[in-house]
Chains A and B, each alone.
Chain A
């Protein structure tokens, strides 16, 4: 039954013959065009920087999802391969520049990828011996090991300052110096598209399928005659390879590699991005990477405690939408097919209002606590609609508490409305085949 429901949606991609090939390549051509046109729409320097970061984050998150989403391995140390890729690229650029070797910059991320692959082989051999929780803890331990070693081996890692480089001094192709950010953006965009394409194709290979099988039932995989440990190992190496490419691009983008690349925050962010986007779908991490990069830049401008909101958002996703944003989107696919999507939208709007009121109440209270505990004088005031209000003002506390409580109660009241709208929308089937 489920198979029948899923089939039509995949039909355009599964179709063989020239039409199928055309439709499948059309997706990638459109993507390439979008990536090429983006700088024409978002022209400012900030948005160029942001889009470059997003491109790197997309590769990194997708490489992480080879582990988490495809093979079911939860890693807390993915930054290791990202960081090592970055370091190797910085060193390579310096060596190539010093010896005037005829290697252009666009090939450099490949070195990062090979570095990631090499260390993936090395650490993967140790860590894929175990699965599940033990694997997660080992990845954490290895990340700490590499992070601390980076501070000890100063010759290679450059201690706390890190190692700098200059991306513009390499052999030029088509007279591109890669000095301006726009050229770096196109470099990142090209690598991003290539990596996304490759990683998507990997999911369609027998290896990709075996990865999913190991995720779903490792015991059965063994019965069929495969060794789950080998499959996990291969997935781990591939994931290290793409993470290394992402790290190499980051090194080119920032022209520096330092020990912060190995930090727990780096590993944590990619996990957050992948999970918030939706680890169960190929395009989930892309959404997550774009959203998280955007929030990192925008929220940190708005408030000093943006990381707290970030964590709260993550917990909310884990608790209420464990399939992530992609999961929520895909939930609506049957409704779109039935043409009943419009029936649920009003109830969403109705449910969104109290949720927003509640969130505003929480945010207000958090901001007031933050100001009371760590600010003094003028800074302890909270800015609201152009007015400065004291954070200790009982009125404000009353208002925000009331907003929170009213929002909570209203949420509880409106949620059944969404549920009933949902069941009406999914029951109203035009075709007949009963759900």
Chain B
């Protein structure tokens, strides 16, 4: 039991921190530009594939630096030549633009790297068990992922609260017009923040690529969970996104390891529904089986009891 608790907590925090790497960029972009970037998970995927390609040519460490920079550049171009032009048509076309972009990025990745997963390996230097706990080896690479994501979290927090740029960004989160009136180049700030957010997602992609599966459907698999995170946390709230990321990370990881079903819990009732019926399916399904839909159940519950999200104040 203790083994399960420790390993699941570590994995859960890790998954949560990865989610936050993406959710933070998404939240920054949303708060500032009012557009929820549908293609954010696609930048994560681009990060993983660019990382894979660069790692093949030059090794993992250059990939860890270069891939996020490249993806950040792509993000800036998307903002400058795409989003900025669509902006005048309103928020719905903006959202639809990013939706179309996500669609196109997935197709392009599929066209270049194929539909099947690519062989993105953990670098040899990190390919050993970090520690053994109750006969379970915990891979060093996962620890490395955890360290990187926590380091970025700390750096982001420090940059946002302690530096001048961070203050401008923070101000632009709540009062974008006022910031513009004060003479800051808001379009430039937008472009930088968009590129920066895309870069953060790409870092998540590069470090998650070897541990998870690098394939063309990874954006479509992760994207909806990412949106659940930002809605559950409260749209536009960075602390909310952080709490929700960890919550969903832990929830999903723990759910996977719980093998209980309604039949087990209520076994004292001695009740067996007729096989083949929906009730029988519901009765037999284990928590582990519904782990993938846990975030969505959480989403529905949060919306019923607190429609603005855990820490949200905005109503759009």
Contact with A along B35-47 (1 / 0, CB 8 A): 1100000000000
Kindly provide the distance from the CB of B248 to the nearest chain A CB, expressed in whole angstroms. 12
Tell me if B's interface is mostly helix, strand, loop or mixed. helix
A49 interface residue per 8 A CB criterion: no
Q: Is A72 an interface residue (CB 8 A)?
A: yes
Q: Give the chain A neighbours of B304 by CB distance below 8 A.
A: 126, 129
Known: A137-B227, A314-B103. A308 touches B278 (CB 8 A): no
Q: Which residues of B contact A152 (CB under 8 A)?
A: 281, 285, 289-290, 293
Total A-B residue contacts, Cβ distance less than 8 Å: 136
Residue of B101, B114, B231 with most chain A CB atoms under a 10 A cut-off: B231
Cα–Cα distance between A318 and B91 once the two chains are bound (Å): 11
Residue B246 lies at the interface, judged by CB distance under 8 Å to chain A: no
Contact B97 A369 (CB under 8 A): no
- B-chain residues with CB within 8 Å of residue A328 when the two chains form the complex: none
Interface residues on B, range: 35 or more
Instruction: Scan A113-150; emit 1 where CB is below 8 A from any B CB, else 0.
Output: 00000000000001101111110111011101100110
State which of A94-102, A153-161, A169-177 sits at the interface with chain B: A153-161
Given the complex of chains A and B, what is the CA–CA distance between A132 and B236 in angstroms? 14
- Is B316 among interface residues, defined by CB-CB distance under 8 A? yes
**B292 lies within 8 A of chain A by Cβ:** yes
Contact B82 A319 (CB under 8 A): yes
Question: From DSSP, what is the main secondary structure of chain A's interface residues?
Answer: helix
Partner of B296, one of A132, A142, A153, A366: A142
Query: Is B85 on the interface with A (CB-CB < 8 A)?
Result: yes
CB-CB under 8 A for A318 and B100, given A153-B281, A155-B276, A264-B220: yes
B77 at the interface (CB under 8 A from A): no
Most B CB within 10 A of own CB, among A137, A140, A305, A369: A137
Q: Which of B91, B107, B285, B315 lies in contact with A308, CB distance below 8 A?
A: B107
Interchain CB contact under 8 A, B231 and A141: yes
Check A129/B303 contact, CB under 8 A, given A141-B228, A145-B296, A156-B281. yes
The verdict on A307 contacting chain B, using a C-beta distance below 8 Å, is: yes
A373 close to B303 (CB less than 8 A): no
Chain A count of residues within 8 A CB distance of the other chain: 47
B95 interface hit (Cβ, 8 Å): yes
Minimum CB distance partner of B97 in chain A: A318
- Which residues in B have their C-beta under 8 angstroms from that of A369? 111-112
Do B36 and A315 have beta carbons less than 8 Å apart? Answer: no
Q: Does A311 contact B (CB under 8 A)?
A: yes
Q: Is A322 an interface residue (CB 8 A)?
A: yes
Q: Is A370 an interface residue (CB 8 A)?
A: yes
Instruction: Give the interface of B toward A (CB within 8 A).
Output: 30, 35-36, 82, 85-86, 89-93, 95-97, 99-101, 103-104, 107-108, 111-114, 220, 224, 227-228, 230-231, 235, 276-278, 280-282, 285, 289-290, 292-293, 295-297, 299-300, 303-304, 307, 315-316
Further 7 A-B residue pairs, CB within 8 A, beyond A132-B315, A141-B228: A133-B30, A137-B227, A141-B227, A308-B108, A369-B112, A373-B114, A374-B112
Query: A residues engaging B (CB < 8 A)?
Result: 68, 72, 74, 76, 126-127, 129-134, 136-138, 140-142, 144-145, 148-149, 152-156, 264, 268, 271, 275, 305, 307-308, 310-312, 314-315, 318-319, 322, 366, 369-370, 373-374
Closest 5 CB pairs of A and B: A308-B107, A145-B296, A132-B316, A311-B104, A311-B103
